[in-house]
Amino acid sequence: MKTSSQVRLLLWKNWTLRKRQKIRFMVEILWPAVLFIGLVWLRSANPLYQQHECHFPNKAMPSAGILPWIQGIFCNANNPCFRQPTRAEGPGVVSNYNNSLLARFYADLQELVLKDTDVHQLRRIWTELSSFSDFMETIRHNPSSVSGRGLKVEDILKDDEVFTSYLLRDVHLTESVVYQLSNARIRLEQFAYGIPDLQLKDIACSQALMERFLIFPSRRGLHSVRNAMCALSQQSLQTIEDVLYANLDFFKIFRLI
């Protein structure tokens, strides 16, 4: 039998079968049409959008450490997609959260526990704080025992302090005024209950208030410092106070008191 005759016979057979089974014939026609209409509707209801390149944060294995492993599980639970490569894709980097607050705290805690020098440093800090607390109790309940002693300003500055150079270079005070101010003594009993609520400008322009907080080597030094400080603005005085606080060595203060 020729090929054309076989094809014609096959078509006649299928057509006869569909005529006899009309329900099957309708299903075979309607089912692809329904699928096609459904696909067209989904395409029109959800328009296409451009998806950028995705970089997913890696999840560290338990061998990388407990904290990176836990952070990789909980912080990446929703599998966020980033447009740019993440930090952990670089060589030698395990976790994307090495700079997180929790990771830094964990690293500092490990370093603190494992290094004996830090433990000794903490013990030293605790001893100094205890002595400072005892001193504050003394000046609160018996201020006369420390009255008039004071701490010289230059003795409580850091070894690499920039306070005096700031006064000379930026505030443009004379060397004599800076010398008198550096050699003045701070009356600690005036700070037994905290920093007084006074404006720096009022203290700088008042001889009585300045003598209340500072002890100068001479009356001439007091007048020269008051005249130089009173000429400055409140903002400049506040900046001088901030620079002074930044250059204080609290370990020296604890040792001297």
The per-residue pLDDT for 97 is 65
- 162 and 99 in a common domain: no
CB atoms within 10 A of CB 183: 16
28 is a domain residue: no
- 159 and 103 in a common domain: no
The answer to whether the beta carbons of residues 157 and 249 sit under 8 Å apart is: yes
Please report the DSSP string for 179-190 in residue order. Answer: HHHHT-EE-GGG
Residues whose CB falls within 8 Å of the CB of residue 95, separated by 6 or more in sequence, listed in order: 58, 60, 64, 68, 71, 72, 88, 103
Distance CA 230, CA 225 (A): 8
The per-residue pLDDT for 33 is 92
- 248 and 162 in a common domain: yes
175 is a domain residue: yes
- 247 and 155 in a common domain: yes
141 is a domain residue: no
The per-residue pLDDT for 57 is 79
Last residue of a domain, one of 78, 108, 138: 108
Last residue of a domain, one of 108, 135, 163: 108
pTM greater than 0.75: no
The per-residue pLDDT for 34 is 92
Spell out, as residue ranges, where the chain has pLDDT lower than 70.
1, 92, 94-129, 131-149, 189-197, 251, 253-257
Distance CA 205, CA 228 (A): 9
- 182 and 81 in a common domain: no
- 156 and 91 in a common domain: no
CB atoms within 10 A of CB 198: 12
The per-residue pLDDT for 257 is 60
Distance CA 190, CA 212 (A): 8
DSSP three-state, residue 231 = coil
- 73 and 171 in a common domain: no
Distance CA 118, CA 107 (A): 13
225 is a domain residue: yes
27 is a domain residue: no
Token readout for 20 is 């006899």
Distance CA 130, CA 166 (A): 33
- In the block, tokens 């002890």 appear at 215
207 is a domain residue: yes
* Cα→Cα distances 109→68, 71, 89, 114, 116, Å: 15, 17, 27, 8, 13
- 175 and 88 in a common domain: no
* Strand blocks (E) in 79-146: none
73 is a domain residue: yes
* Strand blocks (E) in the chain: 151-152, 185-186, 214-215
Distance CA 32, CA 244 (A): 84
DSSP three-state, residue 63 = helix
4 is a domain residue: no
> 71 lies in which domain range?
62-108
The per-residue pLDDT for 136 is 62
Residues listed for the chain: 257
Distance CA 90, CA 88 (A): 5
Provide the number of structural domains found in the chain: 2
Which residues partner with 152 through β-bridges? Answer: 185
Phi, psi of 247, deg, nearest 5:
-105, 5
The per-residue pLDDT for 36 is 93
- 182 and 246 in a common domain: yes
